[in-house]
Structure 1
Amino acid sequence: MLKYIRRQALRIISFILLLIVYLINSAQLQLATQYAKTSPGTAEKYLGVMLITIAGILVLFTWLYQRQLNRNNPRQFGKRPITFNRLIQLCLLFVVMLLVQIIWSQLIMHHLLPMPTNQTAVESSIQQLPFWNNLYGVLVAPVFEEFLFRGFFFNFFFSKNNRWSTFFGVLVSGLIFGYLHTMAFSVTTLFYASLGWLLALTYLHFKDIRYNIALHFLNNLWSIL
């Protein structure tokens, strides 16, 4: 029992540390955005550090993910053949994700739900530094977030291939995903959590994180078009 508690504690600490690494990297973009108008030189320095950090995190996350799959992988996650049938399924999941967002936006437009509190901050950042914020949101965030909330999360805490592990894994990973997008518990948290649940089900269905990254990429790309 003591060995199990120690192992789980180490996994929790590891997950938090990996999350902090990602948050520090995104904070570098936020700092660059703040200085974009007042001090372009300073903004460029933060962007340089951000790009170097992105490369380092990508190598670290890829290595850790592959290592954990080699050590403990009862769900048989890994690279699966990319087939026409799987691509059709991915497109259908993207349509479902769009429908969730359309329904949510309609509820906001009809004043049945509040406007997301983080939306104003996101739009302000994009206006100040549009290219880099859009690039980060579309290309970088999907990769890191899928490694964190699907890749590492399931193998750290819900690796057993049974119904209860699957149910709680999807539920908890979605809630954490939702909370970290709002940094407060609100109705909007459920919106982001629903997207997180869909992404978790995608990971469990395809058993290949590349499909998750692609779906997340398409969703974020759609949001800026």
Structure 2
Amino acid sequence: MGFLIIYLIDTGILTFATAMVKRPGVVNRSIGIMLIYSALLLAFITWRYQKQLTQNNPRHFGHTPFTAKTVTELIGFFLLMLAVQYAWTFLISMHVLSNPANQKALTSQVIQLPFWNLAYSILFAPIIEELIFRGIFLNYFFRGNSRTLNFLGVFMSGLIFGYLHTMSLTPTLIMYAGLGWVLGAAYLHFRDIRYNTMLHFLNNAMSLMAFL
């Protein structure tokens, strides 16, 4: 909860800056505060993640070399994320699901303050969210390297990831959770957080660039 709270403070500063878009002085000061806070937040979370791995790393997370095989597998995971996105878009177009409130709010923020909202969503958010939801979460609550714990870890981290993007128990939660499950599976498959961070980065970039 502590990690989530300090992350939400960061996004809250950006939301405040966006709301003050008609007052450039306030926006500039808020963005400055956000950049300093984001740098400190990223440094702290990265340090905590590395410390966890040093103390207890039964799954042997580390650096998996980029090879033709791992890049091909990474593309496969990305196509799986695209399949979830396309299924999501199809269900919205068929009026089975409503357009997520989170996506509407983010779209509105990008329109009001495009550069900083895009930069944060594409660059900062994937790194911070992967460190929290996949990296730190799995080592805090699902430390063993058994199939059961791995499955439960990915399942629960995906559900929490989905809920924090919807803040409601609706069918849309499953769609966000599905993306979280793919990211969690990629983390366990590659044993290297850089891979699922790249997937998260590509997913956010495509989702946000679609309406520009």
TM bracket (short chain): over 0.9
**Corresponding residue for 1:34?**
19
In structure 1, C-alpha distance between the alignment counterparts of 2:47 and 2:175, rounded to whole Å? 32
SS of residue paired to 2:101: coil
- For structure 2, the 5+ residue unaligned runs are none
**Corresponding residue for 1:105?**
89
In structure 1, C-alpha distance between the alignment counterparts of 2:54 and 2:208, rounded to whole Å? 37
Identity %: 50
**Corresponding residue for 2:2?**
17
TM-score, normalised by the number of residues in structure 1:
0.91
In structure 2, C-alpha distance between the alignment counterparts of 1:126 and 1:63, rounded to whole Å? 30
Deviates more, 1:114-123 or 1:202-211: 114-123
In structure 1, C-alpha distance between the alignment counterparts of 2:104 and 2:164, rounded to whole Å? 16
- For 1:51-79, what per-residue CA distance to the aligned partner results, in whole angstroms no more than 9, with x for missing partners? 00111111111111111101000011111
Q: Within 5 A, what are the aligned runs for 1:138-149?
A: 138-149=122-133
* AA partner of residue 183 (structure 1): M
- For structure 1, the 5+ residue unaligned runs are 1-15
- For 1:102-150, what per-residue CA distance to the aligned partner results, in whole angstroms no more than 9, with x for missing partners? 1110111011222212222111111100110010000000000000000
TM-score, normalised by the number of residues in structure 2:
0.96
In structure 1, C-alpha distance between the alignment counterparts of 2:19 and 2:88, rounded to whole Å? 30
In structure 2, C-alpha distance between the alignment counterparts of 1:66 and 1:79, rounded to whole Å? 12
In structure 2, C-alpha distance between the alignment counterparts of 1:44 and 1:17, rounded to whole Å? 28
Structure of larger gyration radius: 1
- For 1:152-171, what per-residue CA distance to the aligned partner results, in whole angstroms no more than 9, with x for missing partners? 00000001011111111111
Number of residue equivalences:
209
Matched, 1:200 2:166: no
SS of residue paired to 1:168: helix
**What's the Cα RMSD here?**
0.9
